[in-house]
Amino acid sequence: MSKNSKLVIYARYSTDLQSKASCEDQVRQVREALTRLGIDHSNALVLADEAISGTKADRPNFQRLLAMIEREEVSILAVDEQSRLTRGFDATKIIQDLQFRGGRFISITDSVDSSNSSWKMIAGFKQIANNAVVDETAARVRRGQKGNLIQDQSAGDNPFGYEAYYLDPEAALRIGNGPKPKKGVRINEVDAQIVREIFRRFISGESMSAIARDLTSRKTPRGNRVKDTRWSHAQVHRILENSKYVGEWVWGRTKTIRNGGGKTRQAKTPREDWFKADRPHLRIVDQSTWEVAQAKLKSMHDRYGYKEGQRKRGPAIHHSVDYPTGLLNGLLYCMCGARMHVHAKLRIGDNEPEKYFECPVQNKDRGSCTMASHVPADKAEQAVMETILARLTSYQDWQTVVLDQMKAKIQANSRAAGSTVTSLQHRQKETKRKLDNLFDAITEGNLTGQSAKARVAELETELDSINSALEKQNQLLSKPLELPDENWIAMRFQELSTLLMDEPKKAAILIRKLIPRITANHVIAPGKSRGYTQIRFSFNRHAAIQTAINNPRMETFADLQGQNEPALDDDLGILDDFVIDLGGPTQYDALSPKIAAMRAAGATWKTIQAETGIAIGNLYNVWARYIKATTGKKPTKSKGTLMSNDISSMEQPDKSKWAS
């Protein structure tokens, strides 16, 4: 035992709802008991942890106490109850460690004194009982939360966009005397606007990370209880998949479990333990927006998410497929099959860096990819865009098929409108009957409470939706049927062309619908090691037509008709193949076949010089390099013609075409 050892009184209470005088009361009772035992406590060190659960091991003064025990600085440790020290299964271990280092443990209310031989049995029973209280309390809290949910009250599970409020404001003034006042849940309209903005931006094509960065830059609050205004991708994702925003409150999906040190985590519960409450009056996001967002989340999870049993690794699909950072980023592939990466280099004298695409395989291991050229980014983007715009303006060969299909679809929808009206009228009548019965039950006092109000609100919302759909169908039947013509389609393609030119971010997304993939390869002249780049891609006619008709920036013909867009058949999905050279051969490379042909036909160097304008010294080098590359043989110098074996191995040219 250390010379600095002392008597320590430890006190604790669990939550901020308890009185702060609790620790003082515990210390007073311990001192009174120590006096009865004849133990001097005048110089006792008092350690207390306020508003911290006994299941947690990271209590500041509790950790200080354990360190003092380790240093043999505690002669006597006294508590009012053993549960004040800990509610975990480590109580007997702590007492044993204290006893091993010459200390003594005293629990006043529990009559535990380590100086008595029976202390282990008593402390062990108390340890089990104290730990069981934690589980019993958790079960009671869970039962109470479920009851609150059934009664349409707050269960403490309100996400961003909602707030709790006292159902009885006067009772809220009496907190601390009797049971806690009940709270309800309502929409916080300020936060709800942020929720709607997140959904709107996500379904319009923005990534979750981009939305989070923008909200952070604007210092958008994350709720009344959170001071930090930094938004994360994960928080935006949680908002997008939370069904509470459409009035569907599912409770009990997880429960809190603890390890031996009191650290907690959320564990999934069986589906049969879940409880679902419909709260249409708490809907923040409309149903159509919710369904579009969920479909997009599912699509992203199917492509990017880990599958069952899959080893953790990077996503199989590149993020630029959905969120391109440039017109061709993520769309351009090397001839070896690898996705090309964009780079930039600043040349001397230039103000802007030059962007280019490079094959990562060729860059890492030059032996495994033969791609010998970079793809100039600006030139490639300009060439692809010009090709697309030119194709969109030459749509005449598609018109007949497109018009015939659209007219057939619209006429079929118009014929079906009559039966749709009949169905809607039947639903309207049935919903009104349910509402009348519900009102009668409430009036007669047979049905009361928040659940009845919620059901009334749900039926009224359903009736409004039916009335709106019925009005739309009646308007469609009341006006003459209009069909698209050539001018209407021409306007659609003009709008799409303008969109591609004026809005780069939308153009980068749209272009991926029109062109699924671009492949780059090099064109190298015989005898050379480097050349120029060539790109190849296919243009999807069907996707172009659908994109033009469904362009969200304009009012479409189907919108004017008051019906959904007519889908076109896939027989328009003919692919137009394009090959674009992003450079060309040098003057010498272009003329080398002609020079070799003229020499093979017996032309003199002076004749060839006069024909090509190339000096004789350079002529020989161009000719020799070409002959070696095409025949595999080193050319023989001669004053006139090639050797006979060289001539016979080459195709004899048409002399009349030399001048060309």
pLDDT in tens, 494-539: 777 887 787 777 778 778 878 888 999 888 888 777 788 999 998 8
How far apart (Å, rounded) are the C-alpha atoms in residues 246 and 461?
A: 12
Tokens of 497: 């062309």
pLDDT in tens, 159-183: 899 988 877 777 666 665 556 777 8
Number of Cα atoms under 13 Å in the Cβ half of residue 151: 13
For the chain, how many helices (H) and strands (E)? 22, 18
Query: Strand, helix or coil at 372?
Result: coil
Q: Is the pTM of this model over 0.75?
A: no
Going by their DSSP bridges, the two strands 532-540 and 518-523 should be labelled as antiparallel
State the Cα angle at 475 between 470 and 479, rounded to 5°: 150
- Any idea which residue has 């010009």 for tokens? 386
Which residues sit opposite 534 in a β-bridge? 521, 581
State how far the alpha carbon of 615 is from the alpha carbons of 65, 418, 478, 641, in Å.
96, 84, 83, 18
How far apart (Å, rounded) are the C-alpha atoms in residues 555 and 563?
A: 12
Among 358, 362, 304, 300, smallest CA distance to 328 is for 358
- pLDDT number for residue 456: 81
Tokens of 567: 């889908």
User: What does the domain layout of the chain look like in residue ranges?
Assistant: 6-137, 162-304, 396-581, 587-657
Among 97, 122, 100, 121, smallest CA distance to 109 is for 122
- List CB contacts of 13: < 8 A, sequence separation 6 or more: 19, 22, 23, 50, 51
Q: Which residues of 484-515 are buried (b: 16+ CB within 10 A; e: fewer)?
A: beeebbeebbebbbebbeeeeebbbebbbebb
Query: Strand, helix or coil at 525?
Result: coil
Low-confidence ranges of the chain (pLDDT < 70): 1-2, 16-20, 134-135, 137-156, 171-179, 258-264, 304-323, 363-367, 395-403, 405-407, 409-415, 417, 447-451, 476, 478-484, 542, 548-575, 636-660
How far apart (Å, rounded) are the C-alpha atoms in residues 63 and 59?
A: 6
Among 471, 547, 551, smallest CA distance to 515 is for 547
- List CB contacts of 642: < 8 A, sequence separation 6 or more: 599, 600, 627, 635, 636
How far apart (Å, rounded) are the C-alpha atoms in residues 549 and 493?
A: 8
Select 6-137's CATH number: 3.40.50.620, 3.40.50.1860, 3.40.50.1390, 3.40.50.10260.
3.40.50.1390
Among 162, 199, 200, 202, smallest CA distance to 183 is for 162
pLDDT in tens, 237-292: 999 999 999 988 877 777 777 665 556 677 777 777 777 778 888 899 998 899 99
- Residue 390: count other Cβ atoms within 10 Å of its Cβ: 11
Distance of CA 433 to the CA centre of its chain: 44
Among 125, 148, 1, 18, smallest CA distance to 69 is for 1
How far apart (Å, rounded) are the C-alpha atoms in residues 165 and 153?
A: 9
Going by their DSSP bridges, the two strands 375-376 and 354-358 should be labelled as antiparallel
What is the chain's Cα-based Rg?
40
How far apart (Å, rounded) are the C-alpha atoms in residues 31 and 79?
A: 10
Alpha-carbon dihedral 397, 403, 406, 408, rounded to 10 degrees: -120
How far apart (Å, rounded) are the C-alpha atoms in residues 100 and 91?
A: 14
| CATH for the stretch 162-304 | 3.90.1750.20
Query: Strand, helix or coil at 497?
Result: helix
How far apart (Å, rounded) are the C-alpha atoms in residues 515 and 513?
A: 6
Tokens of 292: 């579009």
- Any idea which residue has 């070409």 for tokens? 626
How far apart (Å, rounded) are the C-alpha atoms in residues 178 and 197?
A: 42
Query: Strand, helix or coil at 395?
Result: coil
DSSP for 65-95 reads: HHHHHHTT-EEEEEESSHHHH-SSTTHHHHH
- pLDDT number for residue 553: 41
